[in-house]
Amino acid sequence: MASTAVLQGRKEEAMRILRLYGLSDGARDAVWQQLDVVYFLRHNAQDIAWHTRSLFSRLDSDQPIVRSRLARVGEGAEVLVYVKDQEGLFARVCGYFDSRNLSILDARVHTTRSGYALDTFLVTDHGRAQHYRELLSQIEHELAEWIAKAPELPAAPPPARFQQSRQSRQFPVTPTVQLQPDDRGSYLLSITATDRIGLLYSIARVLAKHRLNVHTAKILTLGERAEDVFLVSGTQLGSPRDQLAIESDLLEVLAAPSQRVAQSSASLMPGNRMSV
């Protein structure tokens, strides 16, 4: 009952905002009919109104729609991606941000009832840009073009790029990977690791390699600790051997360079086996 009241209040606030912009009820309803309850529970009224204003006239677009704005709290940019859902899309978008040295602080992945991806990202360049509005324009133009051209996934960042902080070196987060089936045939993938630039893209590359579909993503960064949860599906998840391969590949990219050396040395010792 509490979630129902929250949902209704959020919708009413979003409707109030949309009326201020002069958006008709019909245009609003056309967008909202494509969205499920999970979407409305995961976005606040301001986000819902922004997405609705950005998409109401482009619901059936053949070309990627990318919109961005300054983050409402702190530095950074909020990016909206809307395009017909396709294999490897999440990994390619993460690859674009990684190629521009933009860190992804939050990602929310949704698929509309008509089969479009409606994904949002919170990214930051850690204060390098002097004028964030120029960065917004650049992201909108480049990312839409990047998705439309459907390039091959860029190579994963080399270990030399991983600049660990003093805290992460002294108190490293032990990487963990958990795959749990849900009651709808999908799997809940939970990941914990030390945060770093390019981490989410490294994860996304593994998911794309194993041809896993990402239905939802919840990205949480707590200081040096990253806690990411994905709802994924794919034929390889039906095989225990393939599940182990997915988990092994994820653990490899999650480990910091120093941990990789330690793991490699430990794997050479007799009697050792990896656990997830």
Q: Is residue 124 part of a domain?
A: yes
Do 106 and 180 lie in a common domain?
no
Select from 57, 87, 103 the last residue of a domain: 57
Q: Is residue 272 part of a domain?
A: no
Do 90 and 145 lie in a common domain?
yes
CATH code of 119's domain: 3.30.70.260
Distances (CA, A) of 244 to 2, 128, 169: 39, 40, 28
Which range marks the domain in which residue 92 is found?
60-154
Instruction: Give SS3 for 185.
Output: coil
pLDDT in tens, 137-180: 999 999 999 999 876 676 665 544 545 555 545 567 899 999 99
The encoded tokens of residue 148 equal 């439309």
Distances (CA, A) of 123 to 55, 69, 105, 274: 21, 11, 6, 34
Percent of the chain with pLDDT over 70: 83
Count the domains in the chain. 3
Do 177 and 246 lie in a common domain?
yes
Do 36 and 70 lie in a common domain?
no
Q: Is residue 75 part of a domain?
A: yes
Do 91 and 132 lie in a common domain?
yes
pLDDT in tens, 73-88: 777 899 999 999 988 8
* Average pLDDT of the segment spanning 105-113: 90
* Average pLDDT of the segment spanning 67-78: 88
Do 47 and 137 lie in a common domain?
no
Q: Is residue 273 part of a domain?
A: no
Give yes or no for a contact between 194 and 168, defined as CB atoms under 8 angstroms apart. yes
Ramachandran bin of 76, using left for φ above 0, alpha for ψ from -120 to 50, beta for the remaining angles: left
Q: In this model, does residue 125 exceed pLDDT 70?
A: yes
Q: Is residue 180 part of a domain?
A: yes
Higher pLDDT among residues 220 and 227, named by residue: 227
**What gap in Å lies between CA 187 and CA 190, rounded to an integer?**
10
Do 72 and 110 lie in a common domain?
yes
Write the CB contacts of 113 (distance below 8 Å, at least 6 apart in sequence).
33, 34, 35, 36
Higher pLDDT among residues 49 and 126, named by residue: 49
CATH code of 262's domain: 3.30.70
Q: Is residue 22 part of a domain?
A: yes
Q: Is residue 276 part of a domain?
A: no
Instruction: Give SS3 for 109.
Output: strand
Q: Is residue 96 part of a domain?
A: yes
The encoded tokens of residue 201 equal 């893209």
Crossing angle, helix 45-55 and helix 25-32, to 10 degrees? 100
